[in-house]
Chain A
Amino acid sequence: MSFTILKKHELVPTVYLMGIAAPRVAKKAMPGQFVILRIDEHGERIPLTIADFDAQTGTITLIFQKIGKTTRQLASLAAGGSIADVAGPLGKPSVIEKFGTVICVGGGVGIAPIFPIARALKSAGNRVISIIGARSADILFWEDRMNEASSELHITTDDGTKGHHGFVTEVVQNLLEHGGHSGQIDRVIAIGPPVMMRAVASVTKPFGVKTVVSLNPIMVDGTGMCGACRVLVGGETKFACVDGPEFDAHEVDYTLLMSRLAMYLPEEKEALEPYEH
């Protein structure tokens, strides 16, 4: 049994959207969860967040950035094609409660996983202030969907081509200082590159606002069986695939996360070489 690709298109340069028929996954998926997929017999198992899901049509949506061998190969597949294995939904779902005012931060491809969380938080009655950021306006996506999922939306670009000229953290800082329109901020959730999550965590810490990040360590099985995904949170080793992927942002050891993410750099280059010719 394999999984049929229903649609695929390039959302913005290097970022792709893929719709996959996976009825059993779609029925159970919750915001914050991910799948592990393997394209074919020779493939690697890679985790991707479930950016959207529809139990009615039995589809899940994945959004991924083309960076290495596997994501490149994935980007080369077309609607009508198929993927050998999709396992999920994995990981603990996001905590969705009525917190009050919540800031949702999505950086780069992190916009994809923050979307279903913002949407769920809003329907749970929260005031959702979202901040989405990218290097440049041309690689910013889902502004429309994020707008719908939020009570207030801020945009940042590193080069100033759209919205606030600068980093998401500056907007977070500003909101915390001035409390947004409604006063207090009750919770912050940030998803993006580790450096961004670390920066958000250090901005929110002095304000004592509970902050959650979704970690993206290297994974193999995604079920707690191998320990490849171990991260250090509050001085304790956790397996991100089963204990997370969301953790208390103020307790995460980001240096360790980043160094473990770089573990296979030489091999990743080697894998890419034959594929590029």
Chain B
Amino acid sequence: MNTESESKIRPEMAKQLPSERRYNFSEVALGYNRGEAVAEAKRCLDCKKPLCIEGCPVGVDIPLFIRQIAEEDFDAAARTLKSTNSLPAICGRVCPQETQCEAVCILGKKKDSDPIAIGGLERFVADYEMKKGVMIPEILESTGRSVAVVGAGPAGLTAAAELAKMGHAVTIFESLHSAGGVLVYGIPEFRLPKAIVAAEVDFIRKLGVDICLNSVIGKIDTVDELLEEYDAVFLGTGAGLPLFLGIDGENLNGVYSANEFLTRVNLMKAYLFPEFDTPIKKGSRTIVVGGGNVAMDAARCAIRLGSEEVTIVYRRGEDELPARAEEVVNAKEEGVRFRLLTNPIRILGDENNWVTGMECINMELCEPDESGRCRPVALSGTEHNIPADIAIIAIGTSPNPLVPMTTPGLETARYGTIVADETGATSKPGVFAGGDIVTGSATVISAMGAGKVAARAIDEYLGRV
């Protein structure tokens, strides 16, 4: 198996057909079957110096779990994965593998050859384990130390899992009624089924982690109050505050932040209204402003809710779209239209305060600035109206100030992020932080990596106090 097999191409993962999936919220990508997974695993060179591992922020032993798949010892593969990654079924689905582990796979560097489908294989193993029943790893003897984790997103869940495995007593405080952070309120069912998130959260509970839902820290308890009861605190509160454009018409009925739209659809299951009580406006013409993963998710939800015309308005060009290429393709296949190099000037409304459209202007890219991106400029005289009855603003989020505001001595940076060193330590003794609250909006796996690093630092800190 260590010799290069004939195929240089990875098997294509089966997907629901666009003509079908645009009418349902079921998962789009269907995963590899056993035969495909084993064949793909056999393509791995089991490199002596596996570059792929360095591409993974949590350091999954990629060649080992892939070898175990090739040997058809899926239980062992699952153990390998879980020893470094507590959320493999999630990562296998939503990691931007093409810029992480798969970007540095040696096979991808060869001519005409695909990198190993590491994410797809990870998903295969995690799904296999989930179907079979999850194994609980060994937990070290209790240390008598306790840690409070604020926020049950990928950063908080990972920090909690690692700390629990080290023998510390861990309690997570989460403001919503469900654990998972963006995984439950943002990323839609058709990309990441909520049952998968629930199962991985359940694994973390089985490690002995106590999850207190409905607990808004800064309101029900402050960080200082947590420090009276716990030996250390980890902050993984994410970057959940929605940004608006600051243009006229943004408070009209029918204008949503992407967060609100996605929260109604995903967390509150508004797509099943009235079986579920939370309503959502199903427009006939929807405009989504923005070009990232969040914009793609919102547009694809709008399609599934039955909006006849869904248009993404983005001020730069195709090459600059920050969303994963795969998601852009998916969106196009499902019928989402793209108005690139177009920028909204104001949102138009009727006498009843309802959205009727968006006035936009064409943009032109010019010289790249110091960040290497082109700053688009408006082309005057190109103003035009796009009709719409729903407008979704997906131009980004910033950190929620609730915790920093109520925590004296916690240093924050310019855009409200919490300042932490490379171990996650903040300016406040005993308080650590990681994930989007430190970096600003990033990725699931980078938040998990930060949670893991901080857990090690917290463990060390607890040994000292």
Interface residues of A (CB under 8 A from B): 1, 24-25, 28, 38, 42-45, 69-70, 84-90, 220-228, 230, 232, 237, 242, 255-256, 259-260, 262-264, 267-268, 270-271, 273-274
Given A224-B400, A267-B279, A270-B274, does the pair A90, B216 have CB atoms closer than 8 Å? yes
Known: A220-B264, A223-B400. 7 other contacts (CB 8 A): A220-B260, A220-B268, A227-B260, A237-B251, A256-B353, A264-B279, A267-B274
Once bound together, how far apart are the Cα atoms of A45 and B216, in whole Å?
15
Q: Which residues of A contact B213 (CB under 8 A)?
A: 1, 85
Residues from chain A with Cβ under 8 Å of B259 in the complex: 225-227
Q: How far is the CB of A14 from chain B (nearest CB, A)?
A: 20
A44 and B251 within 8 A (CB):
no
Would you call A220 and B241 a contact (CB within 8 A)?
no
In the complex, the answer to whether A260 meets B176 with C-beta atoms within 8 Å is no
B412 to chain A, nearest CB (A): 16
Q: How far is the CA of A149 from the CA of B408 in the complex (A)?
A: 35
A interface footprint on B235-275 (CB within 8 Å = 1, 0 otherwise): 00000111010000011011011011001100011000111
- Say whether, besides A45-B268, A220-B263, A271-B279, A225 and B251 are in contact (CB < 8 Å): no
Given A84-B177, A221-B175, A259-B253, A226–B263 Cβ distance below 8 Å?
A: yes
Closest chain A residue to B243, Cβ basis: A227
Chain B contacts for A271, CB-based, 8 A: 273-274, 277, 279
Q: Is B293 an interface residue (CB 8 A)?
A: no
> In the complex, are the beta carbons of A85 and B260 less than 8 A apart?
no
Q: State the Cβ distance, A50 to closest chain B Cβ, in Å.
A: 12
Main secondary structure on B side of the interface with A: loop
A224 touches B274 (CB 8 A): no
Cβ–Cβ < 8 Å partners of B177 in chain A: 38, 45, 84-85, 87
Min CB distance A83 to B, Å, is: 10
Q: Which residues of B contact A24 (CB under 8 A)?
A: 215, 220-221
Are A227 and B279 interface neighbours, CB within 8 A? no
How far is the CB of A22 from the nearest CB of chain B, in Å?
9
A64 and B185 alpha carbons, distance in the complex (Å): 28
Closest chain A residue to B214, Cβ basis: A87
Least CB distance from A121 to B in Å reads 22
Given the known A-B contacts A221-B263, A225-B259, are A42 and B251 also in contact in the complex, defined by CB atoms under 8 Å?
no
A274 touches B274 (CB 8 A): yes
Bound together, the chains give a CA A85 to CA B175 distance in angstroms of 11
A89 cross-chain contacts in B, Cβ below 8 A: 219-220
Contacts A225-B240, A259-B353 hold; do A44 and B220 have CB atoms under 8 A apart?
no
Q: Is the CB of B220 within 8 A of A232?
A: no
Tell me the chain B residues, 402-427 only, with Cβ under 8 Å from chain A. 402
CB distance from A86 to the nearest CB of B (A): 6
- Assess A42 versus B276: contact at CB under 8 Å? Given A85-B213, A259-B253, A260-B253: yes
Whole-angstrom distance between the Cβ of A33 and the nearest chain B Cβ:
8
B278 at the interface (CB under 8 A from A): yes
Determine how close the nearest CB of chain A comes to the CB of B259; give it in whole angstroms.
5
- Check: B352 CB closer than 8 A to any chain A CB: yes
The CA-CA distance from A151 to B412 in the complex, in Å, is 46
Q: Are A44 and B277 in contact (CB under 8 A)?
A: yes
**Interfacial chain A residues near B250, Cβ < 8 Å:** 237
Query: Of B219, B260, B353, which one neighbours A226 at CB under 8 angstroms?
Result: B260
Most chain B beta-carbon contacts within 10 A, residue among A38, A86, A222: A38
If A42-B276, A223-B216 touch, does A87 touch B175 (CB 8 Å cutoff)? yes
User: How many whole Å from B236's CB to the nearest CB in chain A?
Assistant: 15
B281 sits at the interface (CB 8 A) = yes
A230: chain B residues at CB < 8 Å are 251
Chain B residues near A268 (CB, 8 Å)? 279
Chain A residue with Cβ nearest B178: A85
> A225 to B400, alpha carbons, bound, how many Å?
7
Residues of A within 8 A of B273 (CB): 267, 270-271
A264 cross-chain contacts in B, Cβ below 8 A: 279, 281
Residues on A with beta carbons closer than 8 Å to the beta carbon of B242? 225-227
Taking a contact as CB atoms under 8 Å apart, the answer to whether A263 and B257 are in contact is no
In Å, the complex CA distance between A256 and B255 comes to 13
Task: Indicate the member of B273, B274, B402 with the most A CB atoms within 10 Å.
Answer: B274
Q: Give the CA-CA distance A38 to B268 in the complex, in Å.
A: 10
Contact, CB under 8 Å: A224 / B279 = no
Q: Tell which of A70, A86, A226, A237 touches B214, judged by Cβ atoms closer than 8 Å.
A: A86
CB distance from B165 to the nearest CB of A (A): 24
Query: Which B residues lie within 8 Å of A232 (CB)?
Result: 251
Kindly state the separation between the CA atoms of A224 and B216 in the bound complex, as whole angstroms: 11
Interchain CA distance A220-B221 in the complex, whole Å: 21
Do residues A260 and B251 form an inter-chain contact, with CB atoms below 8 A?
A: yes
**Could you name 30 residue pairs across A and B whose Cβ atoms are closer than 8 Å?**
A1-B212, A24-B220, A24-B221, A28-B220, A28-B221, A44-B277, A44-B278, A85-B177, A88-B216, A88-B220, A220-B260, A224-B241, A225-B185, A225-B240, A225-B259, A225-B263, A226-B259, A227-B256, A232-B251, A237-B244, A237-B250, A237-B251, A255-B353, A256-B353, A259-B352, A260-B253, A263-B281, A271-B274, A271-B277, A271-B279
